Amino acid sequence: MNTPELETYSQPRELNEKNVIYWSPEYKACIGSVRSKALRFLRDKLIEEVGNQFYVRPIAGYNNTTYLVNEFGCNCQGFKKNGNCSHTLAVEMYKFIKNYNRELQQ
């Protein structure tokens, strides 16, 4: 018989696109529409890290624009208006997963 997984709130051994939502403070701070788009970018592997910048490629069928996220934020309209957006959230979660898993390996 398998042991049921009761310790759902203990620290995960690895973060990934599925469980990051339970651990990322940035995700918890965002509203629903920003969250769901950010998760599409993350899960569809649309984030490309180039140096210390990130290209967020478009969701198929949504639009055709690739956005650039760096230390100053994102070049989309939403970021200009609100100071955050689905692209910066997606990149924050991408970095969160990467750093978390890197620290666990050390």
Nearer of residues 35 and 87 to Zn ion, judged by Cβ: 87
Distance separating alpha carbons of residues 94 and 102, to the nearest angstrom: 12
Q: How many residues bind Zn ion (CB under 5 A)?
A: 6
Torsion (CA) 84, 66, 97, 83 in degrees, nearest 10: -10
From the CB of 79, what's the least distance to Zn ion, in Å?
Answer: 4
Per the structure block, which two tokens stand in for 56? 């967020």
Interacting residues with Zn ion between 65 and 94 (CB under 5 A): 67, 74, 76, 79, 85, 87
> Position 80: which residue type?
K
Nearer of residues 70 and 101 to Zn ion, judged by Cβ: 70
DSSP state of 66: P
Site string for Zn ion, 14-53 (x = CB under 5 A): ----------------------------------------
Distance separating alpha carbons of residues 17 and 106, to the nearest angstrom: 21
Which residues are at the interface with Zn ion (CB under 5 A)? 67, 74, 76, 79, 85, 87
